[in-house]
Amino acid sequence: IYSDDDANSDASSACSERSFGSRNGGAGPHFLRQTEDVAEVLNHCASSNWSERKEGLLGLQNLLKGQRTLSRVELKRLCEIFTRMFADPHSKVFSMFLETLVDFIELHRDDLQDWLFVLLTQLLKKMGADLLGSVQAKVQKALDVTRDSFPLELQFNILMRFIVDQTQTPNLKVKVAILDNRSDNQ
């Protein structure tokens, strides 16, 4: 009554469940496993291989969607990784990064005020870049979420610093993005 396909299916399911369980805590010290998972995800995000970075971003999205908050050390490392990802040369990774960035901002907005200057200025610079329409829409969404997530006074101070910085030469699109405030919290 039991076919080989059923047995293989059951074995495959057991392996998948075991793999899934080990990735998400499984048996044993749950917190330790989560910490290892986050470290593994961050290592993938920091990889020089684009497919590993993409895999890391997928893992990070799953953690963030599961409301897994990051420790201060994990946040610091992720902000450093994300700062580099603003210049990611691979379009698939960059696109996924922008999606993940929105989830990250929404979950950790209270912990990101020290990184807001980098976040806001990098998003504004990307608004001035020649990007595909779909990617430009993701940049705009990340910028909108950023504008809605942080105090306006803090954003204003950052924008003023950015505008008067002699080392910055924003193009016309960036200047328009600075002046265009689509935020509803005014």
List the chain domain ranges: 38-181
Q: How high is the pLDDT of residue 49?
A: 93
Q: How high is the pLDDT of residue 36?
A: 57
Q: How high is the pLDDT of residue 181?
A: 59
Whether residue 81 contacts residue 41, with contact meaning beta carbons closer than 8 Å, is answered with: no
Query: pTM of the full predicted structure?
Result: 0.74
Q: How high is the pLDDT of residue 24?
A: 41
Q: How high is the pLDDT of residue 182?
A: 53
User: What tokens appear for 62 in the block?
Assistant: 């799953």
Domain covering 38-181 assigned CATH 1.20.1440.230 in the classification: no
Q: How many CB atoms lie within 10 A of CB 120?
A: 20
Query: In order along the chain (186 residues), what is the average pLDDT of each group of 10 residues?
Result: 45 37 40 64 93 94 89 94 94 94 95 94 89 90 94 92 82 78 48
